[in-house]
Structure 1
């Protein structure tokens, strides 16, 4: 039986698909196959979550807070070691947010520096086990979170 390995191409596709799904606020059921439930740890600026339940709680809050999101990946460099990869990700994020009762929405414009850990799933597709936002840098003129 041939061993299934992660590739640079599969990781690049995974990163692009991840942010496409976040931009359009897909249902959680479309994100679950990308996540490793029992091993999942996500360290966001505001909270650290674990497993499917923790991620879903974070995701449901985010999709109800931010809209008109655009994630642009500017870096996704992977170091692959067998069936595990560490990925250095930089993403430019723009999103609107409206906080009641303010008269208008505000625009967030920032760069997020992240470190991901991926494993090869049963079919060789990457699965996210760890997602760490190492730094979050608002650009000039950005609204605050």
Structure 2
């Protein structure tokens, strides 16, 4: 059964894994393969294969990532939940032949859909980036 506590822990674990570029074997158990839809600013992906393609590109592009959750409010309806998430994302990016990397600092406004997995813990079924707002002084993507 989904609870506010289990969802808060899930959100924290999700971003910790993104920050450290966790291997896919650690990320896949958090996702619902057949139902998964992820709407990112640059692409929409489906299922494990689509997510892995996106994830592998991202972890090879950005480094020194820090995700700071500023909001994670869940509306739980039985074994599903809709979560309103706001995260401040900071990351460095280097593009050849630039002499140095650039720092991105932005707020991402997101809507997640979760369901209870077989053991009752949350599993991500839909991840939508609703808006992406660079902070003052941020490099552009």
Which TM-score applies when normalising by structure 2?
1.00
Matched, 1:136 2:129: no
The aligned counterpart of 2:38 is 42
The aligned counterpart of 2:81 is 85
Give, in whole Å, the separation in 2 of the partners of 1:86 and 1:101.
42
Give, in whole Å, the separation in 2 of the partners of 1:64 and 1:144.
17
Give, in whole Å, the separation in 1 of the partners of 2:68 and 2:77.
26
Runs of 4+ in 1 over 2 A off after TM superposition: none
Q: Residues 62-101 of structure 1: matches in 2 within 5 Å?
A: 62-101=58-97
The aligned counterpart of 1:23 is 19
Shift of 1:141: 0.6
Give, in whole Å, the separation in 2 of the partners of 1:50 and 1:143.
29
Matched, 1:113 2:109: yes
Give, in whole Å, the separation in 2 of the partners of 1:13 and 1:75.
13
**SS of the residue 2:19 aligns to:** helix
Shift of 1:57: 0.1
Q: Over aligned residues, Cα RMSD in angstroms? A: 0.3
For structure 2, list consecutive stretches of 5 or more residues without a partner in the other structure. none
Give, in whole Å, the separation in 1 of the partners of 2:34 and 2:97.
39
Q: CA offsets, 1:84-125, max 9 Å, x none?
A: 000000000000000011000000000000000000000011
**SS of the residue 2:95 aligns to:** coil
The aligned counterpart of 1:59 is 55
What is the number of residues matched between the two proteins? 141
**SS of the residue 2:33 aligns to:** coil
